[in-house]
Structure 1
Amino acid sequence: MKNNHSSIPSHLKSYIVDQDYNAYTSINHLCWKFIMNISKDFFKDHAHKSYLEGLEKTGITINKIPKISDMDKKLRKIGWRAVPVRGFLPPTIFMQFQAHSILPIASDMRTLDHITYTPAPDIVHEAAGHSPIIVNKSYSNYLKNYGQAASKAISSKQDHDIYMAIRLLSDIKENPQSSAKDIRIAEESLNQALENNKYLSEAAYLSRLNWWTVEYGLVGNINNPKIFGAGLLSSVGESYNAIYGDVKMIPLSLDCINYSYDITEQQPQLFIAKDFEHLNDVLNEYKAKMAYNIGGLKSAKEAIKSQSVCTFKLDTGLEISGVPTEIYGNTFEEFYKFEGPVQLSYQNKELDGHGGDYHQHGFSSPICNTLIINRLKDASINEKININFKSGINLKGVIKDKLIIDSKLITISFKDCKIIKGDKLLFDPDWGTFDLACGKSIQSVYGGPADIQSYLQFMDLELPSQIKPNYLTKYSNSEKKLIDLYDEIENKLNNDKVQSMIDKLDLEFKGDWLLRFELLNILDDKKDNDLISKLKLQIQEIAKDDNDLYNSIQRGLKTISK
């Protein structure tokens, strides 16, 4: 499978894992089968019409967990890819996968205790949730359009803190070995991260748009909406509540970005798009306001607020990437500063000698007008320069080197350089070579570095664990015995064997409902009425205190008509 990743950007490959298909247990496969059977039955009426077509075209199997390599082969036919990953990816990375038309699929399977809903990414959510609707071209275009916009969004340091807290909480909530204290501490950590966040970045607003569309979106008539959001398509409990429960339905507009969300709880309101083109209309309305489309002083100030890696792209095409800290100017940008490490690039390719190692202590430059750029372009190496900028900045120095690309002066390096504005020192000769970024305006401002592959070593993008959690790979003796019992369901069972399994369940596994449910699929309703009645009563008794599970089982019982 690794050989099929040659066309994927190298920095994204670090997030790809081995699906390890043989590690799934018979319990995992029956969890998947239960979810898919009641989902298919429910969504044939309540999901967008692309859902059923999408199951087949994207390689989603019903009775067994699908192989992501098989899904990848099918998705290639419609211009997409699929790769296995683990856990919550950093939003920046997830969006870059999506912008490259790659669906990152969390390969772990939710536990039986969380069969109706899990806050952690799993293969049900990523495969059965995200994949099917991709076959719709309008929706597919929206995903790509969104991924491209989100990959340019300014993200804040606080966004990263919230992401880390959400990732921890979702992992702890999914882990059956977590204590109530573990969950409480993780919830407090998330609440603290949310409380500390006083600045809503572009990435935060876009994540809300993503949540209310890609994850929890509905489409069509407000009185009879159809589900397309992956969070609903992968949650047998919440999708049912969305249609039949007391959930507020709101027509989709850009106002949805003013609604926050809780990733660990069911949603109190949902938004309904008119159609999939409507999604692009709302997205384009927001894109028009984004810093990468506006540029200028206002956008630069937004980047400074973020306290995170951003890129200023000048009108000459030069890209300055790092954490911006200051910008001078009242109406127009005059002089800007970045803290190190800083990267200079052109057309998203780092310039030789201008990486984060060289500019490790930061970077600053005044904005140049056309007259200054032309004068410097004509100047000679070792020529002494004394320039007064319109902003009141004065630069004195000796030209050391010039970089011209596509007939444009991109950078000019000075030795013995001093830059002042009034009595304020902006650059001292003792600080070494000064590199002037040539450009008369900041044309675009966007989140992240221009050449991410070259800058990645300086970024705080913590990889999710590449290893499956212990609770998915290491089992107690009791769990092993239950898995062995589930394994037997693969064989043809006669009534004596079924009765023997029921006896073992009654003796050792009184709380397991799924194997009892699967036995109902085997029994003959014409001959085994007593056993069927007994199993149904047991299953309903086990689930009676969990409303979502009870309703899901009732729906499951209807699908087997027994």
Structure 2
Amino acid sequence: MNQQDIILSLPEHLRPFVKTQKYSDYTAIDQAVWRFVMKHLSNQLSETAHPVYLDGLARTGISLNQIPSIEEMNECLAKLGWRAVVVDGFIPPAIFMEFQALKILVIALEMRSVNHIFYTPAPDIVHESAGHAPFIIDIDYAEFLQSFGEVGMKAIATRADLEQYEAIRKLSILKECPGSTDEAIAKAETNLKSLTNDSNPPSEAALLTRLHWWTVEYGLVGKVEDYRIFGAGLLSSLSESAQCLDDSAVKKIPLTVDAVRQSYDITQEQPQLYVTQSCKHLSQVLEEFAESMCFRKGGAASLRTAINAGSMCTASYDSGMQVSGVFTEVLCDAVDNAIYLRTEGPTQVAYIEREIIGHGVNYHSQGFGSPIGHIKDFNRCLSQYSIDELKGHDIAMGQRVRLDYLSGITVEGLLEKIHRHDHRNLILTFTDCTVTTLHGRILFDPAWGVYDLAVGSNINSVYGGVADRETLQLYKPTSVTDTIQTAEDDVLLRHYAFVNELRKLAKPVEDQAILKQLEIALESYPQEWLLRVEMLTVAAPPLRNQLKRELTSLGQSNSSLQHLTALALDSK
């Protein structure tokens, strides 16, 4: 299946987040960076990564010698029941989780720059493909990853979470772009710091992000005293994949659900890491956290969580009715049963994740309010009664109807319409309607217009986002901080491309004309260490000896290159 076919197979609301990989856009320098990173990562990780790592690279279409083609990856992933798409940098966390729930790996399109070869502040194709894909071949891990997506897309996020996402995306792009000014980066860092210093308790989404960080991104597997690496953040970092093994510098902690209490700083190396016993153990910890979430618990407490979040959330009735909006109020009885809910602003009313025709945000633009609970003298939820049964209780269209809830809430008005679906009463539409509480508070006045009552006896789930994601797109398809493209040195690119063509010959270069071209490249770019590393693969003495001397000299004169040149020289 090619890229376009996969995009067309996606739910429509996810398609705008997906880009198309134009393989020819990767330069010879990009390919050289990939080769260097993957060669040394695979060497470092051969004994320290989870045993399936190297096999997983091959079985998911990831070569050590060239940047993976998304279409070749998909040919391999299809055999495992997964797919992959490419995106531009960070995408909204809820969207990322939804892709994962659909068994789709999200692969960042960009390749890290040579200046960030050890660690990139922005998502890149090394991290997303070589970090995340290999362990898909482990069935237990693949099931954990999919379950994480299913749970993650239900998490309630706050407005602050969404602002933090935008701030992280902007900062990562600025840091990866060579043309960014120190002033711009400092300003973005200050903005992110101000958002992360929020004194409010972390949201469900924030806690789940921590669990994702300490498992999927920075997880270890085994025992505290005998572990292997499986986290994608470690697997894609030349520096941290080595440094994390220092038990005196990085504390190792057995993984429990308590990991969600530990925050993290994406700009710093991690002072502690968590060790899971197995991939099945990962799923157990995830399930333990999921049991605490509002989408599992429902009820008044969950509605209050949604109110405090101030973001778009969904409340699901036991009848299948769903109200999606910014919740502002929940009324409760003496034993904390939710008896009335209210939203403000655009609201969607749906049934089992499909917006009810005529009940979208345009119609409910000012908000929505409806009672919750049983009606007096009704032994079942009102949704379960047939039209004839309703008539037996004096509930018929075209007549004045009075509904007395056990909570004391009263709805009285002219019943204009009963919206039914799947043999259920879902919405009762009234005109000239008054809704009051037991104590006389007016919840709806006839002068306010038409009153739509959502039918249901309790709220069994509350979760982040909207019920019908196809009809109401909650997240912006593209950010205002699109990945910044920088100009390349065309002459330097030609030198890299020339050396790459020589590599394909798979034999040392001895032709004097070719050697002269290589000498010209070296003289023109005396600081270009990676070009020299690439030449080592094709050079014969005495050029090989010259390259080694120059790499040694570059490492001695530039401390930031010392580790890189040492790696290159040790492997030759």
Both proteins in one fold, TM over 0.5: yes
Report the Cα distance in structure 2 between the residues aligned to 1:466 and 1:192, rounded to whole angstroms: 19
Q: Which moved more, 1:339-348 or 1:91-100?
A: 339-348
Residues 349 and 450, structure 1, Cα contact 8 Å, conserved in 2: yes
The reply on whether 1:455 has 2:469 as its aligned counterpart is: no
- Structure 2 residue aligned with 1:261: 264
- Structure 1 residue aligned with 2:318: 315
Deviation at 1:448, TM superposition (A): 0.8
| Local SS of the residue matching 1:325 | strand
The reply on whether 1:49 has 2:54 as its aligned counterpart is: no
The reply on whether 1:354 has 2:359 as its aligned counterpart is: yes
The reply on whether 1:247 has 2:245 as its aligned counterpart is: no
Residues 215 and 232, structure 1, Cα contact 8 Å, conserved in 2: yes
- Structure 1 residue aligned with 2:152: 150
- Structure 2 residue aligned with 1:343: 348
1:55-70 to 2 correspondences below 5 Å: 55-70=57-72
Aligned CA-pair RMSD: 2.0
Instruction: Report the CA distance shift for 1:499/1:25 in structure 2 as closer, same or farther (over 3 A).
Output: same
* Aligned-partner residue type, residue 4 of structure 1: I
Report the Cα distance in structure 2 between the residues aligned to 1:8 and 1:396, rounded to whole angstroms: 45
* Aligned-partner residue type, residue 204 of structure 2: E
CA offsets 1:54-78 (integer angstroms, 9 cap, x no match): 1111000111111111101110110
Residues 317 and 346, structure 1, Cα contact 8 Å, conserved in 2: yes
| Local SS of the residue matching 1:324 | strand
Residues 46 and 54, structure 2, Cα contact 8 Å, conserved in 1: yes
| Local SS of the residue matching 1:14 | helix
Instruction: Report the CA distance shift for 1:515/1:501 in structure 2 as closer, same or farther (over 3 A).
Output: farther
Q: Which moved more, 1:73-82 or 1:380-389?
A: 380-389
Deviation at 1:404, TM superposition (A): 2.3
Report the Cα distance in structure 1 between the residues aligned to 2:239 and 2:128, rounded to whole angstroms: 17
Deviation at 1:532, TM superposition (A): 4.3
Runs of 5+ unmatched residues, structure 2:
503-508
- Structure 2 residue aligned with 1:482: 492
Instruction: Report the CA distance shift for 1:480/1:127 in structure 2 as closer, same or farther (over 3 A).
Output: same
| Local SS of the residue matching 1:272 | strand
Deviation at 1:204, TM superposition (A): 0.7
CA offsets 1:125-159 (integer angstroms, 9 cap, x no match): 11111111111111001000100000111111111
Report the Cα distance in structure 2 between the residues aligned to 1:409 and 1:26, rounded to whole angstroms: 63
| Local SS of the residue matching 2:186 | helix
Report the Cα distance in structure 1 between the residues aligned to 2:217 and 2:8, rounded to whole angstroms: 29
The reply on whether 1:367 has 2:372 as its aligned counterpart is: yes
- Structure 2 residue aligned with 1:545: 559
Report the Cα distance in structure 2 between the residues aligned to 1:155 and 1:254, rounded to whole angstroms: 19
Deviation at 1:368, TM superposition (A): 2.9
Report the Cα distance in structure 2 between the residues aligned to 1:102 and 1:497, rounded to whole angstroms: 49
Report the Cα distance in structure 2 between the residues aligned to 1:553 and 1:530, rounded to whole angstroms: 14
Higher helix share: 1
- Structure 1 residue aligned with 2:485: 470
* Aligned-partner residue type, residue 168 of structure 2: I
- Structure 1 residue aligned with 2:174: 172
* Aligned-partner residue type, residue 461 of structure 1: K
- Structure 1 residue aligned with 2:501: 491
Selected match of 1:86 from 85, 88, 105: 88
* Aligned-partner residue type, residue 571 of structure 2: T
Q: What is the percentage of aligned positions where both structures have the same residue? A: 38
Residues 350 and 356, structure 2, Cα contact 8 Å, conserved in 1: yes
CA offsets 1:162-205 (integer angstroms, 9 cap, x no match): 10110111111111111111110000110111224614111111
Report the Cα distance in structure 1 between the residues aligned to 2:315 and 2:501, rounded to whole angstroms: 63
1:409-558 to 2 correspondences below 5 Å: 409-421=425-437, 422-456=439-473, 459-461=474-476, 463-464=478-479, 469-471=484-486, 474-475=487-488, 479-492=489-502, 493-494=509-510, 496=512, 500=516, 503-504=519-520, 507-524=523-540, 530-541=545-556, 544-546=558-560, 550-558=562-570
- Structure 1 residue aligned with 2:409: 393
Report the Cα distance in structure 2 between the residues aligned to 1:390 and 1:332, rounded to whole angstroms: 11
CA offsets 1:304-324 (integer angstroms, 9 cap, x no match): 111111111111111111111
Instruction: Report the CA distance shift for 1:182/1:239 in structure 2 as closer, same or farther (over 3 A).
Output: same
Runs of 5+ unmatched residues, structure 1:
none
Report the Cα distance in structure 2 between the residues aligned to 1:25 and 1:326, rounded to whole angstroms: 55
Instruction: Report the CA distance shift for 1:530/1:550 in structure 2 as closer, same or farther (over 3 A).
Output: closer
* Aligned-partner residue type, residue 545 of structure 1: S
- Structure 1 residue aligned with 2:135: 133
| Local SS of the residue matching 2:428 | strand
Report the Cα distance in structure 2 between the residues aligned to 1:481 and 1:324, rounded to whole angstroms: 58
Deviation at 1:554, TM superposition (A): 2.5
TM-score by length of 1: 0.93
* Aligned-partner residue type, residue 353 of structure 1: G
Report the Cα distance in structure 2 between the residues aligned to 1:249 and 1:201, rounded to whole angstroms: 26
Report the Cα distance in structure 2 between the residues aligned to 1:389 and 1:467, rounded to whole angstroms: 52
Residues 37 and 556, structure 1, Cα contact 8 Å, conserved in 2: no
Residues 94 and 104, structure 1, Cα contact 8 Å, conserved in 2: yes
| Local SS of the residue matching 1:444 | strand
Report the Cα distance in structure 1 between the residues aligned to 2:475 and 2:71, rounded to whole angstroms: 30
Residues 517 and 539, structure 1, Cα contact 8 Å, conserved in 2: no
Report the Cα distance in structure 1 between the residues aligned to 2:459 and 2:235, rounded to whole angstroms: 43
Report the Cα distance in structure 2 between the residues aligned to 1:464 and 1:2, rounded to whole angstroms: 22
Residues 403 and 411, structure 2, Cα contact 8 Å, conserved in 1: yes
Residues 548 and 569, structure 2, Cα contact 8 Å, conserved in 1: no
Deviation at 1:499, TM superposition (A): 5.4
* Aligned-partner residue type, residue 534 of structure 1: R
Report the Cα distance in structure 1 between the residues aligned to 2:548 and 2:120, rounded to whole angstroms: 30
